[in-house]
Amino acid sequence: MTARKGQLELNRSRKNLRRDVGRAIADFNMIEDGDLVMVCLSGGKDSFTLLDILLNLQKYAPIDFQIRAVNLDQKQPGYPADVLPEFLDKLKIDYDIIEQDTYSIVKEKISKGKTYCGLCSRLRRGILYNHATSVGADKIALGHHRDDIIETLFLNMFHGGRLSAMPPKLLSDDKRNVVIRPLAYCKELEIVRYAKFMNFPIIPCDLCGSQSHLQRKAIKSMLRQWEKEYPGRIGSIFRSMTSVSLSQLADVDLFPFKDLRVVREVESRLNLVDIV
């Protein structure tokens, strides 16, 4: 690929991501004038892309908002602690590195061969929520994209027996934090392309990366096979999450199925009209 063609591809990819992120922000009112947005940077392709696109949008947005990057160093063995500070120093933005040994806690509490992700994510979430409150962040931005959301939908259906996923915008249970997912409309393949173009210093997660039989990987494989056989299916699944008909499901707490009755008076009037 020539340098010119590579630049054109990069520009096209950035344009696609900016469009999808901008649409998600507008649809869910994710970022408002004067907001301090705490961007959680894990070192993966998704969070690097999130930070980059938000910084790009910040320059042209009709509102004024601030960005503060935050990384949680969970003390995993061999973790390259210098990579993110060097990267963020070059960007010349505000950032915090939080050091908490959640690695040892997860290894101690979870039996060998079991999935670490559940406990790991809960510990990480609590630390980040508390930090957001301490720095006065109005929003916590996470790097979950469209495919993550769909995978979570099927994980919850197949293994939890409930219809739920990751909402693009969420108020925490304690009402202290608002979580946003600006990449909610972005395709994972586009993020992969962009991360390669940008040559981000990706840091793998060795804690869960060593577990080869995670349920999420099975769901991801299933969805990729569906998309290969039926192009556009993933997009259709995501659109269905934005167009929910409660009366066509079966949750008695969300729809008054028990109160449904035939309205005889209306029926009688209709019959009378037919006779006349």
pLDDT of residue 92: 95
Confidence of residue 266 (pLDDT cuts 50, 70, 90): low
pLDDT of residue 244: 94
The verdict on residue 38 lying in a domain is yes
pLDDT of residue 270: 59
**Overall domain count for the chain:** 1
Confidence of residue 39 (pLDDT cuts 50, 70, 90): very high
pLDDT of residue 212: 43
Pairing of strands 139-141, 169-171: unpaired
CA nearest 182: which of 149, 231, 220? 149
pLDDT of residue 267: 57
Helix (H) or strand (E) holding 239: helix 233-241
User: In Å, how far are 81, 139, 164, 219 from 161, measured between CA atoms?
Assistant: 39, 30, 9, 15
The verdict on residue 266 lying in a domain is no
The verdict on residue 276 lying in a domain is no
The verdict on residue 10 lying in a domain is yes
Query: Does pLDDT of 130 surpass 90?
Result: yes
Distance of alpha carbon 160 from the chain centroid: 19
Task: Round to whole Å and give the CA distance between 143 and 50.
Answer: 6
The verdict on residue 248 lying in a domain is yes
The verdict on residue 192 lying in a domain is yes
Confidence of residue 234 (pLDDT cuts 50, 70, 90): very high
pLDDT of residue 112: 73
Q: What is the pLDDT of residues 139-160, one digit of tens each?
A: 999 999 999 999 999 999 998 9
Pairing of strands 169-171, 178-180: antiparallel
67 near 94, Cβ under 8 Å?
yes
Neighbours of 115 (CB within 10 A): 14
Query: Does pLDDT of 214 surpass 80?
Result: no
CA nearest 234: which of 156, 153, 159? 153
Q: What angle do CA 227, 194, 81 make, to 5 degrees?
A: 115
Task: Round to whole Å and give the CA distance between 241 and 163.
Answer: 10
Residue-averaged pLDDT of the chain: 90
The verdict on residue 127 lying in a domain is yes
Q: Range of 164's domain?
A: 3-259
Q: What is the pTM of this model?
A: 0.88
CATH number (domain holding residue 162)? 3.40.50.620
pLDDT of residue 113: 67
Q: What is the pLDDT of residues 72-112, one digit of tens each?
A: 988 888 889 899 999 999 999 999 999 988 888 887 777 77
pLDDT of residue 222: 95
- What's the burial of 214, exposed, middle or buried (CB within 10 Å: 0-12/13-18/19+)? middle
Q: What is the pLDDT of residues 55-66, one digit of tens each?
A: 999 999 999 999
The verdict on residue 194 lying in a domain is yes
pLDDT of residue 226: 95
